[in-house]
Amino acid sequence: MPSTSITEQKTALRRAVRARLSAMSPEEREESDGILFRRFLALPPLETADRVLLFYGMGTEPDTARLIPALMDRGKEVLLPRCLPGRAMEARRVTGESVLIRHRYGMLEPGEDCPLVEREKIGLILVPGLCFDGRGYRLGQGGGYYDRYLAGYTGVTVGLCRRAVLQEAVPREPHDHPVDLVVTDGEPVPV
């Protein structure tokens, strides 16, 4: 019997994880978000990070927009990604007055009027993922934006993962970058 390729394994896992996340009720997701965000905000590396790059959650992803005012109240500079041609991205600083623009993929992102921040000046990046495993590897949407952006990044990376989709092992390729910490709404995960 022929083995499936990593790409096929990732496609099948994406389908299964999306189905599991879609089956969660809004109340379950809300409860999960509350736990994930409390644990994220309590992370020691967050205390020392002056600038934090978030992703703007959409669909069944954690509603990370709720983290923006909490981080600003702590004096953090909050950054959001902006997609660029060639599947690249950059980080732009946002404030409570920033106008976000809907990208063609559906997420909200800062406009060019928001100040650009170099990757080296970011203390912590919250990395999106459909799911993660205990070693910090993630399954993303498949565009490769974050894998390209994280190449050479030396700050702290964190992933949020609902326990319902935490994996024993995520299929991975050489270009896949694990996060340093995985925050779950279940038992702590050593990475």
Domain boundaries, the chain: 6-184
For residue 190, how many other CB atoms are within 10 A of its CB? 8
Q: What is the pLDDT of residue 176?
A: 86
Give the whole-angstrom CA distance, residue 136 versus residue 183: 10
Give the whole-angstrom CA distance, residue 187 versus residue 142: 27
Q: pLDDT-derived band of residue 188, with 50, 70 and 90 as boundaries? A: low
What is the share, in percent, of the chain residues with pLDDT greater than 70? 96
**Which residues make Cβ contacts (< 8 Å) with residue 45, sequence separation at least 6?**
123, 124, 156, 158, 180, 181
- In the numeric block, the tokens 């019997």 are attached to 1
Q: Please say if the pLDDT value at position 125 is more than 80.
A: yes
Query: To 5 degrees, how large is the angle CA 182–CA 13–CA 40?
Result: 15
**Coil, strand or helix: which one is 58?**
coil
Q: What is the pLDDT of residue 1?
A: 40
Into which CATH architecture does domain 6-184 fall? 3-Layer(aba) Sandwich (3.40)
- Token digits for 111? 């406009």
What is the share, in percent, of the chain residues with pLDDT greater than 90? 77
Using only the alpha carbons of the chain, give its radius of gyration. 16
Please state the rounded mean pLDDT for residues 10-25: 95
Q: pLDDT-derived band of residue 92, with 50, 70 and 90 as boundaries? A: very high
> Which DSSP letter does residue 99 get?
P
Q: How far is CA 93 from CA 2, 24, 41, 161, in A?
A: 48, 32, 19, 25
Q: What is the pLDDT of residue 165?
A: 96
Q: How far is CA 76 from CA 2, 62, 123, in A?
A: 51, 20, 10
Q: What is the pLDDT of residue 3?
A: 57
Q: pLDDT-derived band of residue 19, with 50, 70 and 90 as boundaries? A: very high
Q: pLDDT-derived band of residue 37, with 50, 70 and 90 as boundaries? A: very high
Q: pLDDT-derived band of residue 30, with 50, 70 and 90 as boundaries? A: very high
Q: What is the pLDDT of residue 189?
A: 54
Model pTM?
0.92
Q: What is the pLDDT of residue 107?
A: 84
Give the whole-angstrom CA distance, residue 49 versus residue 31: 26
Q: pLDDT-derived band of residue 106, with 50, 70 and 90 as boundaries? A: confident
Q: What is the pLDDT of residue 190?
A: 52
Q: Please say if the pLDDT value at position 175 is more than 60.
A: yes
